[in-house]
Amino acid sequence: MKLLVSNDDGINALGIRALANTLAEAGHDVTVVCPDRERSATGHGLTLYQPIRAEIVETVFLPSVKAWACDGTPSDCVKLALWALLESPPDLVLSGINQGANLATEILYSGTVSAAMEGVIEGIPSIALSLTSHTCKEFQPAANFAKVLVDQLMQKPLPELMLLNVNIPPVKWEEIAGAVITRQGVRRYIDVFDKRVDPRGKTYYWLTGEVQEDVEPPSGLNLPPDVPIDVHVIRDNYISVTPLQYNLTYANGLNKMSDWEFKFSG
């Protein structure tokens, strides 16, 4: 398959190297277009008021992998690849492997997920991959699963356009309990800003928020109740695979507001 690979951890991240090289070794046509430095938690930001530059990279990946480092956001990278750098569209867009989880409401901030979502917006099925640890550096099990998933999609394509948000527990390959289809959970955070003073006496703030609790998703989403939640299965060393879309319309809200009337005076 023809694959476009990006990330938000930057061109030198171990995760994207493991992902791109593993897929290239499996015989896929792999192109990498990713940020030239870490651009985590950028969401779906785009660069509008300055030029975007991309440089060919020849020393990070296997020789068969074509690679560019871009000074834009993750979404910039995918958009640039699809509209300027690639001669033809890829079969899949893959983003990752991220250093750290992208579960529950974290996906709203994630540059990793946003890069993959850019592929879906352009009509290309996509996969976001994350290793659920900020300290574990062993990305090969996650890369192995990416190969398994891509091989499966070659035999059985997705039934419709979507993004698969994949989170892999930070354990050895033989310790992974399996992979399950999940629904997105909800996480609440304590967002604490640490107030500091720089050497010149000016005040600045550092965001040090932490997860407070994992809660059940709200009712009324028309989701099957027996489907497990992403944050739960990871704890039991299962890989979480959650199908996502970019349409955020709240169906139950539409139903409950169907009889609303907006009256304007004058």
Residue-wise pLDDT tens digits, 49-90:
899 999 999 999 999 999 999 998 999 999 999 999 999 999
Rounded CA separation 33/20 (Å): 11
- In CATH, which superfamily holds the domain spanning 2-185+218-256? Survival protein SurE-like phosphatase/nucleotidase (3.40.1210.10)
User: What is the per-residue pLDDT for 58?
Assistant: 92
pLDDT, tens digit, for every residue of 167-208? 999 999 999 999 999 998 877 666 677 888 989 989 988 776
User: What is the per-residue pLDDT for 226?
Assistant: 83
The candidate with the shortest Cα–Cα distance to 107, out of 240, 254, 253, is 240
Is a pLDDT exceeding 70 seen at residue 48?
yes
Rounded CA separation 2/74 (Å): 19
Provide the annotated binding site: 8-9, 40, 98
Rounded CA separation 158/40 (Å): 28
Provide the annotated binding site for a divalent metal cation: 8-9, 40, 98
> What are the structural domain ranges in the chain?
2-185+218-256
31, 4 Cβ separation under 8 angstroms: yes
Give SS3 for 205: strand
Q: What percent of the chain has pLDDT over 70?
A: 91
Global pTM?
Answer: 0.89
Structural tokens at position 112: 């990793």
Give the residue with greater pLDDT, 171 vs 224.
171
Is a pLDDT exceeding 90 seen at residue 144?
yes
Is a pLDDT exceeding 60 seen at residue 218?
no
